[in-house]
Structure 1
């Protein structure tokens, strides 16, 4: 898996290549909907290491998934080439933040878009078994990855 972080002031989001596994397929040869969520998790794990560093990653200190929303746009057939997951922060609160994703063939925004998604994550303290506030250094990292919310179809049609 390879990744490419965005540099400050750059408009393109962070990208990570995520390989597909043979077991990701359903009976129709498409990547199963549950496996899409695993692809996003793989991208998030790699991204957090790149964003927060290997010595002090949010994954080691505690973060929980509070919500997932995913919009499937095209069937993703199994292939040996990895998919590219773009990832960026869209909302940063006191103890939580939202990450947006786009799953594509390549980092080129004109390549085929298979899914777009959003995950709400909560910073968590394992020792107290409770949510914790984001530290200023964590907020600064997320601020560098900040961009517009996911362009879900329901948002563009005036839903919710």
Structure 2
């Protein structure tokens, strides 16, 4: 069974649109907050700080299942659906009050910000990601 990184993200008044729902573009912000928690807080707790040196997003994909209203935090569950030498895909499910509201994917590329180019995942990074890699059997 694939492990999921779970993070609760507050919904802010500024996330709302004119219709009283979370704006579609703000979903990316909610996903970003959860992803940052995984790669900064979660990885640091694992003794890994290299993700903080740079990750860029090569692609986002979002499916909106139902609107989210202002209120309690949303729960975001994340796992790695694809792992390659120099990129990995984070998949997400966002739950509002326990009900699936959105699915998304982000292609993440480890990046050397100082030198200005992509880099390969280190062995330590692959080890951190391993429990979250989707089991396709």
TM-score by length of 2: 0.90
Tell me the residue number matched to 1:3. Answer: none
- Looking at structure 1, the residues matched to 103 and 117 of structure 2 have their Cα atoms a distance apart, in angstroms, of 30
Native 8 Å contact 2:2 2:131 kept in 1: no
Native 8 Å contact 1:51 1:141 kept in 2: no
1:47 shift after superposition: 1.2
Tell me the residue number matched to 2:65. Answer: 73
- Looking at structure 1, the residues matched to 105 and 81 of structure 2 have their Cα atoms a distance apart, in angstroms, of 9
Count residues with an aligned counterpart: 135
Is residue 82 of structure 1 aligned with residue 73 of structure 2? yes
User: Which protein is richer in strand relative to its size?
Assistant: 2
Tell me the residue number matched to 1:36. Answer: 27
Q: Which moved more, 1:55-64 or 1:122-131?
A: 55-64
Tell me the residue number matched to 1:103. Answer: 94
1:62 shift after superposition: 0.7
**1:63-109 CA distance string (max 9 Å, x none):** 00000000000011111x10000001111111100000000035xxx
**1:14-49 CA distance string (max 9 Å, x none):** 210000110000000000011000000000011113
Tell me the residue number matched to 2:54. Answer: 62
Tell me the residue number matched to 1:154. Answer: none
The 3-state SS of whatever aligns with 1:33 is: coil
Native 8 Å contact 2:77 2:94 kept in 1: yes
- Looking at structure 1, the residues matched to 10 and 126 of structure 2 have their Cα atoms a distance apart, in angstroms, of 29
The 3-state SS of whatever aligns with 1:17 is: strand
Native 8 Å contact 1:45 1:59 kept in 2: no
- Looking at structure 2, the residues matched to 88 and 114 of structure 1 have their Cα atoms a distance apart, in angstroms, of 17
Native 8 Å contact 1:17 1:84 kept in 2: yes
Relative to structure 1, the CA distance from residue 58 to residue 69 in structure 2 (aligned partners, 3 Å threshold; closer, same or farther) is farther
Native 8 Å contact 1:90 1:100 kept in 2: yes
